[in-house]
Chain A
């Protein structure tokens, strides 16, 4: 109970509806994401987890047919207000995708891109520093420090994903969205990334979409269960996994459907 009190809301979603053309993908999503915690979103394929995640940094704006109604507040500020600068928003809300997507540039340039377009580094020294600390935070520095100028696409899948995480944290965002970051990785790489997520939550607020129940249980403090575009249940991870309120949630996490 004492812990509850210390919690601070970071993201509040209020009645979010999402339409792809005529088809509604999300129905009135209301949820809260707390600061410096890992929130996991689970649910069967096609239930709208990615869609919701992409609402938080307005990546759905790129899709012409996608229409969104409702509000998402980050630090009590509605990001769907008409004159919000999405560039500033995405500076604050980083994203890591399901498939590692490093730019076809050197490892160094992959990290340096964000800081350079946002004018974060004043000079080369500062940039070198940002690159190094970002790679260190992403637990990749030791593996790549001797080949910073080799292409990022030449790394292994797990390394590429950590490179993408390093890239996301290079501009020091407040929130990091991860859409199935481990689905293309082997168990060892997955373990590394999970460890990384756990350490990153000290500085960032993390939202992760995952298909792995055990992963959600391992890394997250809170879990939300989506089904057919609706948020069925959301709560403490422990509670969701041990004693969910909803029978559908129960069925899903025990593998009886999905």
Chain B
């Protein structure tokens, strides 16, 4: 009877424990779902861009072009006036103020958009074509449905007059949504419709590359030495403890180190992926050393003995057998370490990678943004256009992290040799 009761209790305890587990997992999934939902609902609209159609004649007289093949003439032609004059004709206006309101519906880059088009299609001189010009941020947000129209005019960013123009354009089929290639190809900008995270992606890639190039070889050498060659004594114990401590140091400290030493003492160029990568590699080092040592330790002693008994030297044993077998674990640790570095913001803020950079970086020596810092920068901006871009950047960042972590899992599963 007593036995029966105890068994029943045990089953109940088991059931209860399972229930707790399910509740915990559901809660975790719920929060992740909430985050993803929020990011996606805010961010997806950033991947499209609103364009306004405009029929333009590339009038040689107006542009001041006499010879299409004269590069100088074509480069310096007055596209600004051409588009300006053509665009304000799209809607009747009665005063200077209304004229301004019309042209403000276009993104200030229209001059270059027209020029770029013409440079590629020089045969269109004196012909009329339909151009797609990027709409201003306010127009874009209105079209995407992110601006409510039913609030008082003085609290709206678009006037009643501009709303009327929008409706008219819509009716005439002049408004079009296209894929926002600017998001990927451009750097930062004051105008949300012209801003992209291309520069931030490049900056992040350069930073991670520098970080990998510095931290991986050093970490691997350190791990191999500590695990395979170092004598076991007080000093190596101390080193071991400090490596673990280093892994727990808040990342901002590495930023300070970068600021104090790399920038002030070595005078490396500020705001560059080079400095960012070096600062992050300090942080990544212990995060690679620890899994690398664990993988080295996991290589069975029988393999080492086998090699030694064949007359392999210690170094040959380590580099022919132990290190290759520890590689999958080391690589997956490296990828996870780099993924953490990719999401790191604080050290980059300190070494000046928060600068407003319009140009795409061409090398790790150029000033640049990075993905997490771009999120930080844009989240500070008031424009609605930057809100969606912030979320889009987070999506990008999460995408990279998912890819890297999957790679880590893949590396471990695919290349891990099984031994008996």
* Chain A residues with CB under 8 A of B313: 87
Given known pairs A59-B309, A117-B312, the reply for A97 and B302 (CB within 8 Å) is yes
Q: Is B3 an interface residue (CB 8 A)?
A: no
A95 and B320 contact, CB distance less than 8 A: no
Q: Is B2 an interface residue (CB 8 A)?
A: no
Partner of A113, one of B320, B325, B417, B419: B320
A114 and B321 contact, CB distance less than 8 A: no
* Chain B residues with CB under 8 A of A153: 417-420
Given known pairs A64-B232, A103-B303, A104-B417, the reply for A59 and B308 (CB within 8 Å) is yes
A101 and B308 contact, CB distance less than 8 A: no
B311 and A87 contact, CB distance less than 8 A: yes
Minimum CB–CB distance for A104 against chain B, Å: 4
Partner of B309, one of A90, A102, A104, A117: A90
B302 and A104 contact, CB distance less than 8 A: no
* Chain A residues with CB under 8 A of B309: 57, 59, 90, 94-95, 97, 168
* Chain B residues with CB under 8 A of A64: 232
A91 and B311 contact, CB distance less than 8 A: yes
A87 to B321, CA, bound (A): 17
Contact with B along A95-116 (1 / 0, CB 8 A): 1010111111000000001100
Q: Is A171 an interface residue (CB 8 A)?
A: yes
Q: Is B316 an interface residue (CB 8 A)?
A: yes
Minimum CB–CB distance for B300 against chain A, Å: 8
B308 and A97 contact, CB distance less than 8 A: no
A167 to B309, CA, bound (A): 10
Contact with A along B132-161 (1 / 0, CB 8 A): 000000000000000000000000000000
Q: Is B167 an interface residue (CB 8 A)?
A: no
* Chain B residues with CB under 8 A of A87: 311-313
* Chain A residues with CB under 8 A of B21: none
* Chain A residues with CB under 8 A of B404: none
A59 to B314, CA, bound (A): 12
Q: Is B267 an interface residue (CB 8 A)?
A: no
Minimum CB–CB distance for B186 against chain A, Å: 49
Q: How many residues of B contact A (CB 8 A)?
A: 22
* Chain B residues with CB under 8 A of A117: 310-312, 316, 320
Contact with A along B312-356 (1 / 0, CB 8 A): 110010001100010000000000000000000000000000000
Minimum CB–CB distance for A138 against chain B, Å: 15
Q: Is A11 an interface residue (CB 8 A)?
A: no
Interface positions of A from 162 to 187, Cβ below 8 Å from B: 164, 167-168, 171
A61 to B418, CA, bound (A): 28
B308 and A62 contact, CB distance less than 8 A: yes
* Chain B residues with CB under 8 A of A114: 310-311
Given known pairs A64-B232, A153-B419, A153-B420, the reply for A97 and B310 (CB within 8 Å) is no
Interface positions of A from 134 to 178, Cβ below 8 Å from B: 153, 164, 167-168, 171
Q: Is B33 an interface residue (CB 8 A)?
A: no
B305 and A97 contact, CB distance less than 8 A: yes
A90 to B314, CA, bound (A): 13
Q: Is A118 an interface residue (CB 8 A)?
A: yes
* Chain B residues with CB under 8 A of A104: 303, 325, 417-419
Chain A residue with Cβ nearest B304: A62
Q: Is B307 an interface residue (CB 8 A)?
A: yes
Minimum CB–CB distance for A48 against chain B, Å: 18
Given known pairs A103-B321, A104-B419, the reply for A171 and B302 (CB within 8 Å) is no
Interface positions of B from 275 to 325, Cβ below 8 Å from A: 300, 302-313, 316, 320-321, 325
Q: Which of B232, B304, B309 has the most CB of A within 10 A?
A: B309
* Chain A residues with CB under 8 A of B312: 87, 113, 117
B310 and A167 contact, CB distance less than 8 A: yes
B419 and A59 contact, CB distance less than 8 A: no
Minimum CB–CB distance for A160 against chain B, Å: 8
Partner of B308, one of A88, A90, A99, A113: A90
Minimum CB–CB distance for B323 against chain A, Å: 13
A113 and B305 contact, CB distance less than 8 A: no
Partner of B303, one of A91, A94, A101, A118: A101
B302 and A101 contact, CB distance less than 8 A: yes
Interface positions of A from 43 to 61, Cβ below 8 Å from B: 57, 59
Q: Which of A95, A104, A118 has the most CB of B within 10 A?
A: A104
Minimum CB–CB distance for B67 against chain A, Å: 69
A171 and B311 contact, CB distance less than 8 A: yes
A12 to B261, CA, bound (A): 64
* Chain A residues with CB under 8 A of B417: 104, 153
9 contacts between A and B (CB under 8 A): A95-B309, A97-B306, A97-B309, A101-B300, A101-B303, A104-B325, A104-B417, A113-B307, A118-B311
Task: Name B's A-contacting residues (CB within 8 A).
Answer: 232, 300, 302-313, 316, 320-321, 325, 417-420
Extra A-B contacts (5), CB below 8 Å, given A88-B311, A95-B309, A171-B310: A62-B308, A90-B308, A90-B309, A114-B311, A168-B309
